[in-house]
Amino acid sequence: MFIDETTIKAKAGDGGKGCVSFRREKYEPWGGPNGGNGGKGGDVLLRGDDDTNNLIDFKFKPHWTGERGGHGLGKDCDGHEGKTAILRVPLGTVVYHAATGEVVTEILTDGQEFILCKGGKGGWGNTHFKSPVNRAPREALPGEPGEAGNYRLELKSIADIGLVGFPNAGKSSLTNLITNARPKTAAYPFTTLHPQIGIIDYAAEYDRLIMADVPGLIAGASENKGLGHRFLRHIERCALLLLIVDINGTDARDPRDDYKHLLKELELYNSALLKKPRLVAANKMDEPAAKANLAKFRKRYPKAEIFPISCLSEVGVATLKKELLKRIKRLRRVEKKSPAKSG
């Protein structure tokens, strides 16, 4: 099961109570106070984890609690600190306050940490209150309560390239060809039911790109047709979109209309997606109708940057692969010069 959105309840540990105690020893009638402080409660901590790409752990375990701090003890012993609850979240996790929808944080790098709920401070023991005028204080403080809250976690995958296309256009076939991911491909729509993240390895250039294959979009996805817009959040962070069209027009479809509908659906989801640089892969060039359709497509969309490919014969795939690296490198250079906030 692939979960990319879920709600959790987090509660940090309360601080331990301070202790009231006095030193009692033979021949020491005025031993004085020796009550230790309470320990701090355990935090609830988020940590970015490269090894996971799914929020499923949090679907089945939605409650996370930091341990309570230990109570203070006699002989000036402080209570132990509560154990931190560590939530290992996939990179690209955005955390929102469940009630207000306000963004709390984003976890983008491996090992990045964020304290979601801070553990309560331990209370002072009575030793803390001793003074020249009060040499036998009988007061101690309770620990402070740990922070608590309800949060919504949303995963927006981090990839360089987002693959967008109608079902059956060949998105997964291309992913299989050029990345290390092995999504299933078949001649029926919606073979891919959740995003697949693959790495394109450029051994000669010592570089690699990450590509996200998301389930097919269809006209009306904004009204929840097909799988709807549900998975488009996974291409929101991509630097480049690769729109893949079935240029053969399988099932009497017109590739030009497919392209128009894809753009429309992207716009309906988030018009900023149309501002991202995009390339078009005209797939299935091995089919007889492809050439004529490609000419018509070029005529209708003269500005589109089209790469004719065939995932079957692999013609054009190497050129496209090279171009993807070139484009992303260029975008990285621009990003370095004027870093834009990711979102």
Least distance (Å) from ligand GTP to the CB of residue 176? 7
CA distance 279 to 211: 14
User: Using an 8 Å Cβ cutoff, are 72 and 36 in contact?
Assistant: yes
The secondary structure of 130-186 as a DSSP string is -BTTBSS-----PPPPPPEEEEEEEE----SEEEEE-TTSSHHHHHHHHSS------
215 binds ligand GTP (CB under 6 A): yes
Helix, strand and coil percent figures for the chain, each rounded to 5: 25, 25, 50
Residues whose CB is less than 8 angstroms from the CB of residue 116 and which lie 6 or more positions away in sequence, other chains included: 10, 43, 44, 45, 46, 87, 95, 104, 105, 149, 151
Q: Which residue in 21, 84, 157, 310 binds ligand GTP (CB under 6 A)?
A: 310
Residue 170 binds to ligand GTP (criterion: CB under 6 A): yes
CB of 56 to Mg ion, least distance (A): 21
In angstroms, give the least distance from the CB of 92 to ligand GTP: 21
User: How many residues touch ligand GTP (CB under 6 A)?
Assistant: 24
CA dist 93 and 106 (Å) reads 6
Q: Which of 37, 65, 84, 172 binds ligand GTP (CB under 6 A)?
A: 172
Nearest residue (CB) to ligand GTP, 65 versus 248:
248
CB of 2 to ligand GTP, least distance (A): 14
Q: What is the C-alpha separation between 330 and 324, in angstroms, rounded?
A: 10
Compute the least distance from the CB of residue 234 to Mg ion, in Å. Answer: 13
Task: Please tell me whether residue 190 binds ligand GTP under the rule CB under 6 A.
Answer: yes
Query: Does residue number 179 form part of the binding site for ligand GTP (CB under 6 A)?
Result: no
- Asked if 186 touches ligand GTP (CB under 6 A), the answer is yes
Which two three-digit tokens encode residue 250?
A: 């399988």
- Closest approach, Cβ 248 to ligand GTP, in A, equals 7
- Please, what is the minimum distance in Å from the beta carbon of residue 259 to ligand GTP? 14
Among 6, 54, 191, 270, binds Mg ion (CB under 5 A): 191
The verdict on 192 binding Mg ion (CB under 5 A) reads yes
Could you give the CA distance from residue 73 to residue 241 in angstroms, rounded to a whole number?
A: 61
- Stretch touching ligand GTP by CB under 6 A, among 42-50, 112-120, 179-187, 228-236: 179-187
Among 143, 216, 249, 308, which residue interacts with ligand GTP (rule: CB under 6 A)? 216
Q: How do beta strands 44-49 and 103-107 pair?
A: unpaired
Q: CA-to-CA distance for 11 and 29, rounded, in angstroms?
A: 44
Asked if residue 187 binds ligand GTP (CB under 6 A), the reply is yes
Which position among 171, 229, 237, 278 is part of the footprint of ligand GTP (CB under 6 A)? 171
Q: Which one of ligand GTP, Mg ion, none is in contact with 156 (Cβ closer than 5 to 8 A by kind)?
A: none
Query: Is residue 234 a contact point for ligand GTP (CB under 6 A)?
Result: no
User: How far is CA 59 from each of CA 9, 13, 89, rounded to the nearest angstrom?
Assistant: 11, 22, 12
**DSSP 3-state assignment of 271?**
helix
> How many CB atoms are located within 10 Å of the residue 92 CB?
23
172 binding Mg ion? (CB under 5 A): yes
Rounding to the nearest 10 degrees, give the CA dihedral for residues 294, 300, 304, 306: 0
The listed partner (ligand GTP, Mg ion, none) that binds 189, CB under 5 to 8 Å by sort, is ligand GTP
Binding site for ligand GTP (CB under 6 A): 165, 167-173, 185-187, 189-192, 215-216, 283-284, 286-287, 310-312
